A and B are shown apart, each in its own frame.
Chain A
């Protein structure tokens, strides 16, 4: 499975899953599941994550077919 853009960006930013989770007020497990593609976050959470990582929604969540 391809490594998710969220995971790559988070690591580039030097954040742990727990730190990102605290920034967007969710549990670490939720971030882990989003990175694994096993949880579909709401648009609100996607925006929160994008803001926390200084990226756009397209940068993090858009996948080319």
Chain B
């Protein structure tokens, strides 16, 4: 599976390692350049000019696609957090991610609540709490899975 993926997305198959390295670097820079153009387009048309979403949705798709591809590749390459190189550090990192996710969830939940006003009755508080829990679960779930999976992948070939 991994070999098939690497073959499908191999940027350079030149026998010369120097040429391969240069081509890979140039392709990476070209990809980053495309991303910068997409983000610039979103900022200019979406925020500065206030154009309808449909006009810059293509750039949004590029940004989301790039982010997803980068995240998945990073996790499966075992590079989500290269500093995690022993069992103890992964537990520490999960603890840290837990608290980061709580702060993030509270921040986003309050931030999205500002425009509609803060909850007044029990039903609104329930909705607010549900939103808080969902945001926390999404953030922490992603970080937990990414850390665990990345750890497994980075040690895959080192296991006896």
Residues of A within 8 A of B (CB): 25-27, 29-30, 33, 39, 41-42, 44-45
CA distance A19 to B61 in the complex (A): 49
Residues on B with C-beta less than 8 A from A25 are: 15-16
| Chain B nearest CB, measured from A61 CB (Å) | 16
Say whether B17 contacts A41, CB under 8 Å.
Answer: yes
Residues of B within 8 A of A (CB): 15-19
Say whether B17 contacts A42, CB under 8 Å.
Answer: yes
Residues on B with C-beta less than 8 A from A41 are: 17-18
Say whether A30 contacts B18, CB under 8 Å.
Answer: yes
Say whether B16 contacts A39, CB under 8 Å.
Answer: no
CA distance A45 to B18 in the complex (A): 10
Residues on A with C-beta less than 8 A from B19 are: 26-27, 30
Residues on B with C-beta less than 8 A from A33 are: 18
CA distance A27 to B15 in the complex (A): 9
| Chain A nearest CB, measured from B136 CB (Å) | 45
The one of A26, A29, A42 in contact with B15, judged by C-beta atoms closer than 8 angstroms, is A26
CA distance A41 to B15 in the complex (A): 13
A-B contact pairs, 12 of them (CB 8 A): A25-B15, A26-B16, A26-B19, A27-B18, A27-B19, A29-B18, A30-B17, A30-B18, A30-B19, A39-B18, A42-B17, A44-B17
Given A26-B18, A27-B18, A30-B18; 13 other pairs, CB 8 A cutoff:
A25-B15, A26-B15, A26-B16, A27-B19, A30-B16, A30-B17, A30-B19, A33-B18, A39-B18, A41-B17, A42-B17, A44-B17, A45-B17
CB-CB nearest 5 A-B residue pairs: A26-B16, A25-B15, A30-B18, A27-B16, A30-B16
| Chain A nearest CB, measured from B66 CB (Å) | 29
